[in-house]
Amino acid sequence: MAGAGAVLFLFNPAQHAFYPFCLFYRSTGLLCPGCGGLRAIHQLLHGHLTAAFRFNALFVCSLPFIAWLSARRLLAKVRSEATPVLVRPVWLWLGFVVLVVFGILRNLPFAHAAWLAP
């Protein structure tokens, strides 16, 4: 992860072609919920929160939740406790709905003023 973070810190995904591209965007011209994620990480690594939010708001907003889950899992490992992955179906469905709604909203005509295209 440190190596990937170093590459993302040093090489801007908007300027270098060796990063993976979004097949959904290339085939449809529409932004998927993950489009802009690498550029958002690059901006976050440089301390530009608002720029990262413009590239992928859902990713930036999910970072506290991801950090909480990671810290919880790390604490359980340190304590040598079992870490079962129990995800209730309602949370999976809610996450799916959030992804679909975000994917639709970011492709509406007025959304291009808020989110940058890849």
Any idea where the domains of the chain sit in the sequence?
Answer: 2-113
pTM > 0.85: yes or no: no
Which pLDDT value is given to residue 14? 87
Cβ neighbors of 36 (< 8 A, separation 6 or more) are: 55, 56, 59, 115, 116, 118
d(CA 69, CA 72): 5
Q: What is the pLDDT of residue 82?
A: 79
pLDDT of residue 102: 94
- Low-confidence stretches of the chain (pLDDT < 70) are 111-118
